[in-house]
Amino acid sequence: MKLTGAEIIVKALEAEGVEVVFGYPGGAVLPLYDKLYDSSIRHILVRHEQGAAHAADGYARATGKPGVCIATSGPGATNLVTGIANAYMDSIPIIALTGQVAVSAIGRDSFQEADITGITLPIVKHSYLVKDVRQLAPAIRSAFHIATTGRPGPVLIDLPKDVTLAQAEFEYPPQISFRGYRLPEKYSATQIYQAAKAIGESRRPVIYAGGGVVSSGAARELLELAEKAQIPVTTTLLGKGAFPETHPLSLGMLGMHGTKYANYAVSYSDLIIAVGARFDDRVTGRLDTFAPHAQVIHIDIDPAEIGKNVRVHYPLVGDVKEVLRDLIPRVEVPQTREWLEQIAQWKAEHPLTYANEEGILKPQYVIEQIWEVTKGEAVITTEVGQNQMWAAQYYKAIHPRTFISSGGLGTMGFGLPAAIGAQVGRPDAVVFDIAGDGSIQMTSQELATAVQFRLPINIAILNNRYLGMVRQWQELFHGRRYSQTDLADTPDFVKLAEAYGAEGIRVTRAEEVRPALEQAIASPKPVVIDFVIAREENVFPMVPPGESLTKMLGG
pLDDT tens per residue across span 144-171: 999 999 999 999 999 999 999 999 999 9
- Type of residue at 527: V
174-188: pLDDT as tens digits:
888 777 888 878 899
For residues 359 and 366, what is the distance between their CA atoms, to the nearest angstrom? Answer: 14
For residues 386 and 540, what is the distance between their CA atoms, to the nearest angstrom? Answer: 10
For residues 70 and 76, what is the distance between their CA atoms, to the nearest angstrom? Answer: 9
For residues 285 and 379, what is the distance between their CA atoms, to the nearest angstrom? Answer: 29
For residues 220 and 169, what is the distance between their CA atoms, to the nearest angstrom? Answer: 45
3-state secondary structure of 113: coil
State how far Cα 360 lies from the chain centre.
Answer: 31
- Alpha-helical (H) ranges within 404-548 are 415-425, 447-452, 468-477, 493-500, 513-522
How do beta strands 233-235 and 167-169 pair? unpaired
Predicted local confidence at residue 286, as pLDDT: 94
Mean pLDDT of 238-263: 98
- Type of residue at 356: N
State how far Cα 182 lies from the chain centre.
Answer: 26
Which range has the worst mean pLDDT, 30-44, 53-67, 175-189, 393-407? Answer: 175-189
Predicted local confidence at residue 356, as pLDDT: 87
Predicted local confidence at residue 257, as pLDDT: 97
Residue 385 predicted with pLDDT over 80: yes
**Run of H or E including 355:** none
Predicted local confidence at residue 177, as pLDDT: 78
Q: Which residues contact 321 (CB under 8 A, 6 or more apart)?
A: 216, 217, 218, 221
Adjacent-strand bridge partners of 253: 235
Predicted local confidence at residue 307, as pLDDT: 94
Q: What is the 3-state secondary structure (H, E, C) of 374-393?
A: HCCCCEEEECCCHHHHHHHH
322-340: pLDDT as tens digits:
999 999 999 999 999 999 9
Q: What is the DSSP track for 6-51?
A: HHHHHHHHHHTT--EEEE---GGGHHHHHHHTTSSSEEEE-SSHHH
CA angle in degrees (0–180, nearest 5) for 220-369-553: 80
- Residue 13 and residue 43 in contact, taking contact as beta carbons nearer than 8 Å: no
31-48: pLDDT as tens digits:
999 999 999 999 999 999
- Residue 156 and residue 128 in contact, taking contact as beta carbons nearer than 8 Å: yes
Mean pLDDT of 203-214: 98
pLDDT above 70: percentage of residues in the chain: 100
Q: Which of 416, 431, 55, 399 is nearest to 240 (CA)?
A: 399
- Type of residue at 336: T
pLDDT band, residue 297 (cuts 50/70/90): very high
Among all residues, which ones are annotated catalytic? 49, 111-112, 161, 469
CA angle in degrees (0–180, nearest 5) for 451-43-427: 55
Number of residues written out for the chain? 555
The torsion angles phi and psi of 521, rounded to 5 degrees, stand at: -65, -35
Predicted local confidence at residue 488, as pLDDT: 85
Predicted local confidence at residue 271, as pLDDT: 98
pLDDT band, residue 61 (cuts 50/70/90): very high
For residues 418 and 62, what is the distance between their CA atoms, to the nearest angstrom? Answer: 9
Q: Which residues contact 189 (CB under 8 A, 6 or more apart)?
A: none
Residue 551 predicted with pLDDT over 90: yes
- Residue 74 and residue 113 in contact, taking contact as beta carbons nearer than 8 Å: yes
Q: Which residues contact 479 (CB under 8 A, 6 or more apart)?
A: none
Predicted local confidence at residue 517, as pLDDT: 98
- Residue 340 and residue 232 in contact, taking contact as beta carbons nearer than 8 Å: yes
pLDDT above 90: percentage of residues in the chain: 96
Q: Which residues contact 11 (CB under 8 A, 6 or more apart)?
A: 3, 137, 170, 172
pLDDT band, residue 134 (cuts 50/70/90): very high
Mean pLDDT of 12-29: 98
Greatest CA separation for the chain = 74
Residue 398 predicted with pLDDT over 80: yes
For residues 418 and 406, what is the distance between their CA atoms, to the nearest angstrom? Answer: 10
Predicted local confidence at residue 358, as pLDDT: 87
How do beta strands 2-4 and 167-169 pair? antiparallel
How do beta strands 205-209 and 403-404 pair? unpaired
496-523: pLDDT as tens digits:
999 999 999 999 999 999 999 999 999 9
3-state secondary structure of 436: strand
CA angle in degrees (0–180, nearest 5) for 469-152-58: 50
